[in-house]
Amino acid sequence: MEKIIIKDLFKNMQNFENKEIQVEGWARTVRDSKTFGFIELNDGSYFNNLQIVFNDSLQNFEEIRKLTISSSIKVTGKIILTPDAKQPFEMHATDIQIQNLCTQEYPLQKKRHTFEYLRTIAHLRPRTNTFNAIFRIRSVAAFAIHEYFQNNGYVYLNSPIVTCADCEGSAEMFKLTTLDLDRPLPQKDGQTDFSQDIFGKKAYITGSGQLHGETFAHAFGKIYTFGPTLRSENSNTKTHANEFWMVEPEVCFCDLEELMNIEEDFLKYVVKTVLEKCPEELEFCDKFIENGLIEKLKKVCVSSFTRLDHKDAIDILKKADKEWEFQPEYGEDLAKEHEKYITEYFNGPVFVKNWPKDIKAFYMKLNEDGKTVAAVDLEVPGAGEIMGGSQREEDFEKLFNRMKDLNIDTDELYWYLELRKYGSTVHSGFGLGFERLLMYITGMQNIRDVIPFPRTPGNCDF
Ligand code: 4AD
Ligand code: MG
């Protein structure tokens, strides 16, 4: 007997007309009457269920009638096309074998649960329609990201997870040690003596692969990283996680304007691919999570994103007829409420560029005004800042002095500085928060609901 996955049935139903086949999956719902019944079967291969019709000709009919939700079964039967019914075809069962009868305590009975509750059963939530849709989209989007860069000549770099390089600020990096924390730590000059630790110095888990990315960009021209990133910040918000995935391309011979072109092209490609490959999932999200989602995504693919200077964004905010919790100021960062206002004002993604240097990272290129850096954040409605990038300071002296001013260890980062002596280039890169992109694509409002097992302050369950 030929074993078929449900996706193939939906994609080529004609080929299976009146054929007897076998499927294996989980019962999503069971409805029965005295002499017959229906099972909605899902095998994980496809968003929609296969409708199975069974009747009392089955020798175990009484058992099947009592089948519980999420029981795993093997069904043999014939595919019958039903062009006039709600579902395009169904399977008439000739044999149903129960592999595991799901117990009655199974928490996902047929009713709607809150996302908060579903987080407490993270091991089961991928079986719900919502999370099935979200995590298939996540998988498709991840592949599209690789596809975009591979098709455009970038080399995939696996930057290290363990690092001593301080990119976004060591205060936000998790420390990594083999020192015995249950005993007094070895001391030297009144401080912990990390020379006795496994790497002979203080080590961290990476908060960005950018610095290593820049080294490889200076060999391959264009590279990207895509991997887990950890930050120890104690931010309990809907858009921050302590473990998230970041995509970090780095491109030589590329300035800030060209960088924005890449960011825009890249985002459109990923959105377009998800639109093409996940129509069922997106329809579900459109209906139950964010009304108008598909329209929004289609529009993003054809619109050109607004580009404006940080100071012009502040002008718009200052002119707004609004009571702010945080007053917008020229020298300061944008608060969530500001990002929201700006993206709603332009009704789509907005690049905010040329930021005040004091609130941005050490490696960003200083503009001619001496006050701003060539940095750019891409803000989108809902998820806020999804990409953060910049043109890098390519001048050795300027970079060295900036690092000294900010007390950044120039000895530890000598190799990063050397890039500015051995064929330095105008170069730029950005980081995309993968989960924030997924929030934007699916309409989900909480980062905890687009990552399989969220790690956030106070939560490392599962
Ligand atoms: O803006 P960030 O901190 O930039 C960097 O790390 C640069 N080294 C990137 C680069 O130029 N190569 O982080 C980049 C993006 C943010 O725009 C945001 O989308 C995401 O990473 N991000 C987070 N996502 C979830 N949880 C957090 N705690 C995040 N912190 C940053
Ligand atoms: Mg940022």
Specify the pLDDT at position 168: 84
pLDDT at 111 exceeding the cut of 90: no
- Given a cut of 90, whether residue 169 has pLDDT beyond it is no
Assigned token pair, 111: 């009713």
pLDDT tens, position by position, 223-279:
999 999 999 999 999 999 999 999 999 999 999 999 999 999 999 999 999 999 999
CB 94 within 8 A of CB 20: yes
Measured in Å, residue 451 CA sits from the centre of ligand 1 at 16
In sequence order, the 6+-apart residues with CB closer than 8 A to the CB of 446 are 115, 238, 439
Whole-number pLDDT of residue 165:
87
Which residues, judged by CB distance below 6 Å to any ligand atom, belong to the binding site of ligand 1? 167-168, 208, 210, 231, 233, 240-241, 244, 246, 248, 385-390, 429-431, 433, 435-436, 447
Contact (CB, 8 A) for 323 and 334: no
Q: Cβ atoms within 10 A of the Cβ of 56, count? A: 13
Contacts of 455 (CB under 8 A, 6+ apart): 241, 242, 243
Report the chain's C-alpha Rg in angstroms.
27
Q: By alpha-carbon position, which residue is closest to atom 22 of ligand 1?
A: 433
Nearest CA to ligand 1 atom 30: 240
Mean predicted confidence (pLDDT) in 444-461: 97
Atom in ligand 1 nearest the alpha carbon of residue 447: 25
The mean pLDDT of 420-442, rounded to a whole number, is 98
Q: Are 353 and 310 in contact (CB under 8 A)?
A: yes
Amino acid 338: pLDDT: 97
- Calculate the average pLDDT of the chain: 96
Spatial neighbors of 51 by CB under 8 A, at least 6 apart, are 38, 39, 40, 41, 87, 90, 91
Over 90: is that where the pLDDT of 158 sits?
Answer: yes
Instruction: Look up the pTM and report it.
Output: 0.96
| Residue range 143-147: mean pLDDT, rounded | 98
Max Cα separation, the chain?
85
Whether pLDDT at 148 is above 90: yes
Nearest to 58 by CA among 79, 43, 76: 76
What sign for the dihedral angle of Cα 358, 363, 369, 375?
A: negative
Which amino acid does the sequence have at 337? E
Which ligand lies nearest to the CA atom of residue 378 in the structure?
Answer: 1
User: Which is nearest to 444 in space by CA: 145, 229, 133?
Assistant: 133
